[in-house]
Structure 1
Amino acid sequence: MSDINITSLAAGLPSLILESCLYGIALILFSSTIYFRATRRTLASCRQTVKHHFISPVFIGATVLFLAATAHWIVDIYLTFLLFSKFNGPISKQALYASPTHGADIVEAASVFVAILVGDSLMIHRLWVVWGRNLRVLMFPICGLSGVLVMLIGVSYLFSQSKANSTFLDNAELKPWVATGFVLSLLTSVYCTGFIAYRILKFNVRSTTNSGLTFFLAILVESVALQTFWLIFTSTTNLASSSVEFLTLDTFPVILCISNLLIHARVGLGWSSEPTGLHAAKREYQGAV
């Protein structure tokens, strides 16, 4: 299309509203995580201080996810106000690329890629802890994560060599790289979610006080199922070039942030229901998060 009608820009309003609601949830979860870390007692099995709780790699990763979601949300608000205040009719592509939205699109895409990379890394770490530091189960997800990293490098290089009047989503050269990255991340997420859920189900011994709903929610949180589900949704819309793609991509960073912060909130609230066979892994993961 040579022109972009203002009505198509209005289609981004639902995604901004949904992203804002989800960001509010992420903000509450992140604030709760900080409170839990500042007030939680030191674990008896490993002498930890409050400083250790805030410099652990898992918490740093969750913080990076929250910052990526924040940056994406701010850019979305900026783009919405800018486009509706600056353009009053059909928008030519040349005018759009020459506008300040071009740089904002780069920041928006970068926040999505950072969220994918950090989200996959935290999921692999979770798999490593639940499986008792068994390196054999990490071979496939590490290969997938390496592929995603190569994709990011390739996209960055190709974009640096491309003309100034192209964006990530509009550049035909980048689409195979982006699609490959989504597929690799999807395979990694499905693998990790399946193995984590299997490990918990295999060794779980439910007490009479735990309801079926509580156990089901515990499995969903521990296996980061929300992240995997939304990645499947996003990958499908991206590969199909669906009009729903703007909705899934805009909410992707904040969904990954919520999915990982739910684990921190679960540990902080103390309603974790791991079985006896996983008590050691639970204590170790609580120390990590």
Structure 2
Amino acid sequence: MLFLSAILLFVVITVHWIATVYRAFIGFVCTPTTSEAKLYFSNLTTPAAVIQDVFLVLSYVIGDSMIIYRLWVVWIHNKIVLVVPILTLTAFTVVASVSTSVEEHSRNVFDDPLMRYTPILTLVTNVYCTSFIGWKIWTITRITRLSSPSGGTELRHFLVIVVESAALYALWAVLFLQVIY
């Protein structure tokens, strides 16, 4: 499941970046004047801009779904733990879809009042899932440290990797929030 999701995420992010590079090339190289470039970049109804936005939203949905799936596996298919992240993922999907639709009819991407909620929702999903995964790994490590000669060191290394990757993602979301606010 995670392998297929990772491949899908790679494809979606690649399409997003192809659209981003294409728009940058058209805007910076193919437009003769600065005012035309500004007009091009402010036009969010071009196919490349729509593809860029849609695939960005898809990448977040897939990425957040992957971390929710990891939470579900680590918590041994406990559905109660999934309530909050599924609600935030659903809210993110609805808000991002509406926001993308609003941006297509706007002259400025920052005019969209819903745009500020998408990084908050994905940040809540990420922090919640990472905290619960980390807590579960920490408690298992504590138990194995008492009963195992290895002391649960393998799990502690895994815990550090999970927390560091989530911290990088959370830092990106916080920096994006600073741009919006």
TM-score bin (small chain): 0.7 to 0.9
* d(CA) in 2 for partners of 1:79, 1:199: 44
Q: Does residue 139 in structure 1 map to residue 108 in structure 2?
A: no
Structure 1 residue 68, shift from structure 2 partner: 1.3
1:193–1:225 CA contact under 8 A, matched in 2 = no
* d(CA) in 2 for partners of 1:156, 1:71: 17
Amino acid corresponding to residue 98 of structure 2 in structure 1: G
Structure 1 residue 177, shift from structure 2 partner: 1.6
* d(CA) in 2 for partners of 1:107, 1:224: 32
In terms of fraction of residues, the more helix-rich structure is: 2
What 5-or-longer segments of structure 1 have no aligned partner? 1-56, 243-289
Q: Sort the Cα spacing of 1:78 and 1:138 in 2 relative to 1 into closer, same or farther, 3 A.
A: same
* d(CA) in 2 for partners of 1:181, 1:240: 13
Q: Does residue 126 in structure 1 map to residue 70 in structure 2?
A: yes
The residue number in structure 2 matching 1:105 is 49
The residue number in structure 1 matching 2:59 is 115
Same amino acid, percent of matched pairs: 26
1:179–1:238 CA contact under 8 A, matched in 2 = no
* d(CA) in 2 for partners of 1:186, 1:224: 14
Q: Sort the Cα spacing of 1:216 and 1:109 in 2 relative to 1 into closer, same or farther, 3 A.
A: farther
The residue number in structure 2 matching 1:269 is none
> How many aligned positions are there?
175
* d(CA) in 2 for partners of 1:70, 1:215: 32
Structure 1 residue 187, shift from structure 2 partner: 0.8
* d(CA) in 2 for partners of 1:62, 1:108: 19
Q: Which aligned pairs between 1:38-187 and structure 2 lie closer than 5 A?
A: 57-92=1-36, 93-97=38-42, 102-159=46-103, 162-163=105-106, 166=107, 170-172=109-111, 174=112, 176-187=113-124
1:61–1:118 CA contact under 8 A, matched in 2 = yes
Structure 1 residue 123, shift from structure 2 partner: 0.8
Instruction: Using CA pairs under 8 Å that are at least 6 residues apart, name the structure with larger relative contact order, 1 or 2.
Output: 1
Structure 1 residue 71, shift from structure 2 partner: 0.9
* d(CA) in 2 for partners of 1:217, 1:91: 53
1:151–1:181 CA contact under 8 A, matched in 2 = yes
Q: Sort the Cα spacing of 1:216 and 1:101 in 2 relative to 1 into closer, same or farther, 3 A.
A: farther
What 5-or-longer segments of structure 2 have no aligned partner? none
Secondary structure class of the residue paired with 1:133:
coil
Secondary structure class of the residue paired with 1:134:
coil
* d(CA) in 1 for partners of 2:163, 2:170: 13
2:116–2:177 CA contact under 8 A, matched in 1 = yes
